[in-house]
Structure 1
Amino acid sequence: MKKLLALLLSMGLVLTACGGGRQDTGKSSGGQAADKPKELTVWLSDSETKLREAMQSSVDAFHESQNEVKVKVEYMDDEALKTKIKVAGAGGQMPDVFNYWSGEQFNSMVRAGVIADISDEILRDQAFIDHFSAGALDAGKVDGKLYSIAAGSSNVMFYYNKKIFAENDIAVPATWGELISAVGKLQDAGVTPIAVGAKDRWPLLFYFAYLSNRIGGTEPFMHAVTNEGDFTDPSFVEAGEKLRELAKAGAFGDGFLGMASAQSDAAFQTGKAAMILMGDWSIGTYADAGIDLGYFPFPAVENGKGDASLMHGGFGGIYAVSASADQDAATKFLKFIMTPEQRKNYVIAVGSPSSVKVNLEDSDINPIVADYLSNVGSIASGYFPYFDQAIDARRAEQILNAVVSIVAGAPDIAAELAKIK
C-alpha cells in the first residue's frame, strides 16, 4: 500500500474518492434516454498551427460522420499538457482522451489506474489493426495490455537552410568536429548557427541524449532507467562537456536560455538561424516557410561507441483514454481519427510519418516533405527513447534542469549529473 501511495504521489495522481469521472450514462436525471450527444473532453499538445488545423479537420469530419458523440478539444503546448495532466490526475478530473508520450511516466499513470485498458475495444477489431505498421500497436502496450495508440513514429533530425550553407561554403556535417567547424564559419559570417528553445529545456535535452548515445551507445542510459547505473557514467559526463563546448562556441546565439521553442522555430523559419534540431512533427511547418530546407541526422562523435544510424524517437505521440471516460464513445473517436483517410490528411498537412499505413500517391504534398518521407526509413536503423519520458518524473525533472545548468556554466558537470537520482 505504501508503494502504491508513493507512486501516485510521484506523478501527482492521487485520486479523489469520487474519481471525478466524466462518464456519461446517456440518461437524463429522470432516467430517460437523453437526446443530447455524449460529450468527450480531449486534450492535445498540438500547439503548432499546422498540427492544430490537421487535427481539427479530423474532429470536424468526425462530427459530420455521426451525431452520437460531441468532442470538445483543448490544444496546448507540451509543457502545459504535462502539467495539466498531473493536476487533473490529482483532482480526479482527467480528460476523456488525451495525447502523451510513451515511456515510464505514462506507464506510471497506467499503474495508478487512471488510464483505461482498451485492449478489448481495439485488438478485437482486425480490420482496424490491419491498418497499422508492424510494431506500432505494441508501442502502446503495458504488461501485455493495450493502453494507448501510437499516432506515428517521430525522428529528431537536424534541419538546415541550404541557402545559408551554400553562401558560407559549408558541407553537411557528418561528425561532431565538422558540426563545430560549421558553427565557427556561421559565427564568422554573423549568422546564428543553431536555434534552440532552451527555456523549454527539452530541446536542449535532445543534444545531451544524442551525444551520450553517440559516445557510449544505448547501454548506459538503459542501465540508468533500471537503476543498474546512473548519470555519472563517463558517456554522460562527456556528453555534458560536448554540449557545453557547443554552447561556448556560440552555436545558440545570444539570449538562447530565455528563448522558447516557438521562438526558436520562428528564428529558423525566417532565416535568422541556419539550423535547428527538432522532431519531424515540425517538417511540414518548416517546408512551408519559404526557406530552402534540408535535413541530416545528428552527426557521429569521433571515437564514439554508439551507432550513428540510430535516431532519437520511435513510435510516439500516443493517444490514450482515461479510466473514467465513456469507453464506447472514446474509442469510437480514436478509431475515426486513426483511419487511413484521416491519417493521410494529417501526414499531408504535417509531414510526420504515420503509424497507420497511408497511400500518398497523387497527393497534394509538399515536395520537401515527400522527399523526407521517402528517405527517412533508410536513414534510421533503429531508435532510442526520449530521456525525459523513459525515466520517472522526478529524475526527468532533474535531468532537464541539469542540461540547462550545464550550458549555463555550472562549474562541475559530473556533480550536476550526480544530482539525478
Structure 2
Amino acid sequence: MRTRKPKLLVLAVLLVSLLLTIMSKGCLSSASQTPQAELPDHTVPVKITFWNQETNDRRQEVVKESIQSFNQTHPHIQIVPYFYEGETYKAKLRVAAISGKMPDLFYYWTGESFKYMVDSQIVADLTDLMQEKPAYKKQFYPEALQNSSYYERLYGLPHTTSHVMFWYNKRLFAQFGITPPDTWDELILAAENLLSKGISPFSVSGKERWPLLNWYAYLSNRLGGTTSYQHTIKGTGDFTDPSFIEAALLFRELVKKKMFEPGFLGVDRQTAENMLLNGETAMYLQGDWAAEEMLSNPDIGYFRFPTVHGKGDRTVYYGGSSGWAISKNSNQQAAFEVLSYMVSIEERKKFVEASGQLSTLKELPLSPSHMKPSIYDYVQFIEKDPSNYFGYYDQEIDPRRSELLLDAVVTMAGAQTMSRKEIEDLLKQIR
C-alpha cells in the first residue's frame, strides 16, 4: 500500500515546477530579443577633441601644459588636442563645417566668419551654461563676451585680445639715426634711409596672404576710419570707397619702391620674423601673438602704426579677440567643463605671463617675477594704450568675400604696374 504524500508537499512541488517553467520561458524570451544596450561604464572618460592653431612657441607650450593638467585632474573627461598651421587650420575648419564633422572644441576669430558658423547652426549656444556660473561670467570684460554674441546669445568664450603693431630692430635704428615714427611720411623717410644703406625696410610673409592685409587694413582705417568698413561688412558700401582706393595706392607705392624683402610673396611667417631678428630687415608689422619671440631679443622694440596724411588715431589698433567655441553636436556639458577650465584665471594668468598677450578676463593677478621684464613692460603698455579696435578684415566679412579680398591684396602686391582704374576694377569685384 502506497504512502500518500501530504497535500502541502504536493502543492510545494507544483509551485516550484511552475516557477521553474516561468523562469525558463522568460530566459528563452529574453534570448530571442535584441540585446539591450549596456549601461555606460563610468570608468571610461568622455573624450573631447580640441582643435587649435599651431604656433610652435611658448603659447602652444602653455596650452599643452593646461591640457595636461586638466587630463590629470579630471579622469572623467580627457582632452584630445590637435594643432594645425594657421592656413591649414582655416581650411580644415571650413571642410569640417560643411561636412558636419566638427571637433568638440575649436579655435575661432570673432567676426562675420564666426557668425556664419553660428547661422549654420553648428555652434553650441553657451548662454544657459554661462548663466549657471554667474561668478565666472563676471570675470570677463563685457565687451569681449559681446563680441562673441549674436542675437543676444553667447556662442563662444573669448580668451585673448590681440594687437597688430610694428616691431623694429633697435640696433639698426640707432645705427642709422632713426627714431620710431609717428606719421606715415616719417615712416617712409626712415624706410628710404634704410633702403639707401642696403637694408630692406620691412619684413612681410606674403605666402600666408593675411600679413599683407595687415598693411592694407591699417592704411584704409587710418584714411577712412571704421565707418567705411562697417558699411562694407553690412553690404551698404563696398571697397570702392575712396579710403580703400587711396590705401591701395599707398600700398602699391611700397611695392614699387621695393620696401619689402626680396621675394616676399613666397616668404613664410617664420622666415619673415627671423629676418627682423637677425637684422636683415628693420621693421615688421605683425600681431602681438609674436610678442614673446620678439621681446626675447633685446634688439627688438615696438611702436604703433602711424597716422596717415594727418588722418587716423594711433591708439586705434587692428586686432580684437579670439576664443574657443563648442560644436552643437558635442557633449556640451563635458566640453564646457573643459572650456571653463582652459579660460580660467589661473590658466590664462600663465598664458599672459608667458606670451605677453592680453586676456579677456579682468584683473589677472600677474606676477612680474614670473615674467621676462620686456614682456611685463609690454603688457603694462598695451593694457592702457588702445582707445579702440577694428577687427580683422578677413574675419569681419563673410568667407567668400574674405577670399576675394585676400586674393586682391596679393594681386596688388605682385603686379608690376597697376593703374588707379585697374585697382578700382579689382576692388569692385569684392561683393
| Length-normalised TM-score, structure 1 | 0.90
Aligned-pair identity in percent equals: 37
User: Secondary structure at 2:346's aligned position in 1?
Assistant: helix
Correspondent of 1:333 among 335, 338, 345 = 338
Alpha-carbon displacement from aligned partner over 1:291-334 (angstroms, at most 9, x marks no partner): 42211110100143x333211112x1211000011011100001
1:394 aligns with 2:410: no
Residue type of the partner of 1:294? G
C-alpha distance in 2 between matches for 1:267 and 1:324: 44
Counterpart residue number, 1:292: 299
C-alpha distance in 2 between matches for 1:151 and 1:270: 32
Counterpart residue number, 1:179: 187
C-alpha distance in 2 between matches for 1:419 and 1:192: 33
Counterpart residue number, 1:323: 328
Contact residue 202 and residue 260 of structure 2 kept, 8 A: yes
User: Secondary structure at 1:160's aligned position in 2?
Assistant: strand
1:275 aligns with 2:280: no
Contact residue 66 and residue 347 of structure 2 kept, 8 A: yes
1:223 aligns with 2:231: yes
C-alpha distance in 1 between matches for 2:200 and 2:149: 42
The structure number with the bigger radius of gyration is: 2
Counterpart residue number, 2:77: 69
Counterpart residue number, 1:419: 429
Residue type of the partner of 1:125? K
Counterpart residue number, 1:25: none
User: Secondary structure at 1:136's aligned position in 2?
Assistant: helix
C-alpha distance in 2 between matches for 1:255 and 1:180: 20
Tell me, which stretches of 5 or more residues in structure 1 are unaligned? 1-27
Contact residue 271 and residue 291 of structure 1 kept, 8 A: no
User: Secondary structure at 2:143's aligned position in 1?
Assistant: coil
C-alpha distance in 2 between matches for 1:303 and 1:91: 49
C-alpha distance in 1 between matches for 2:90 and 2:37: 35
Correspondent of 2:365 among 348, 352, 359 = 359
User: Secondary structure at 1:135's aligned position in 2?
Assistant: helix
Counterpart residue number, 1:381: 387
Residue type of the partner of 1:332? E
Counterpart residue number, 2:138: 130
Provide the alpha-carbon RMSD of the alignment.
1.5
User: Secondary structure at 1:115's aligned position in 2?
Assistant: coil
1:345 aligns with 2:350: yes
Contact residue 183 and residue 310 of structure 2 kept, 8 A: no
Alpha-carbon displacement from aligned partner over 1:260-307 (angstroms, at most 9, x marks no partner): 12221222222222111111111011112x242211110100143x33
Contact residue 141 and residue 147 of structure 1 kept, 8 A: yes
Q: CA deviation at 1:232?
A: 0.8
More helix, by proportion:
2
Contact residue 223 and residue 229 of structure 1 kept, 8 A: yes
1:91 aligns with 2:99: yes
Deviates more, 1:45-54 or 1:329-338: 45-54
Tell me, which stretches of 5 or more residues in structure 2 are unaligned? 1-35
Contact residue 139 and residue 361 of structure 2 kept, 8 A: yes
C-alpha distance in 2 between matches for 1:307 and 1:205: 19
Alpha-carbon displacement from aligned partner over 1:9-53 (angstroms, at most 9, x marks no partner): xxxxxxxxxxxxxxxxxxx95233342100011110142322210
Counterpart residue number, 2:110: 102
User: Secondary structure at 1:155's aligned position in 2?
Assistant: strand
Counterpart residue number, 1:23: none
Counterpart residue number, 1:10: none
Contact residue 233 and residue 396 of structure 2 kept, 8 A: yes
Alpha-carbon displacement from aligned partner over 1:216-242 (angstroms, at most 9, x marks no partner): 111111111111111011110110010
Counterparts in 2 of 1:362 and 1:253: CA distance versus 1, 3 Å: closer
Q: CA deviation at 1:188?
A: 1.7
| Length-normalised TM-score, structure 2 | 0.88
User: Secondary structure at 1:113's aligned position in 2?
Assistant: coil
Counterpart residue number, 1:15: none
Counterpart residue number, 1:170: 178
